[in-house]
Chain A
Amino acid sequence: QKEVEQDPGPLSVPEGAIVSLNCTYSNSAFQYFMWYRQYSRKGPELLMYTYSSGNKEDGRFTAQVDKSSKYISLFIRDSQPSDSATYLCAMTEANNLFFGTGTRLTVIP
Chain B
Amino acid sequence: EAGVTQFPSHSVIEKGQTVTLRCDPISGHDNLYWYRRVMGKEIKFLLHFVKESKQDESGMPNNRFLAERTGGTYSTLKVQPAELEDSGVYFCASSQEDLNTEAFFGQGTRLTVV
Contact = CB atoms under 8 A, between A and B. Distances in A.
Contact of B100 (A6, A32, A100): A32
Contact of A43 (B4, B40, B101): B4
Interface of B: 4, 9, 33, 35, 40-45, 56, 91, 93, 98-101, 103-108
Interface residues of A, number: 23
Interface of A: 2, 4, 6, 32, 34, 41-46, 49, 88, 90, 92, 95-102
B42 A95 contact: no
Of the candidates A45, A97, A100, the one having the most CB atoms from chain B within 10 angstroms of its own CB is A97
B100 to A, nearest CB: 5
Task: Report whether over half of chain A's contact residues are helix, strand or loop; otherwise say mixed.
Answer: strand
B12 to A, nearest CB: 16
Contacts of B101: 32, 34, 46, 49, 92
Nearest to B102: A46
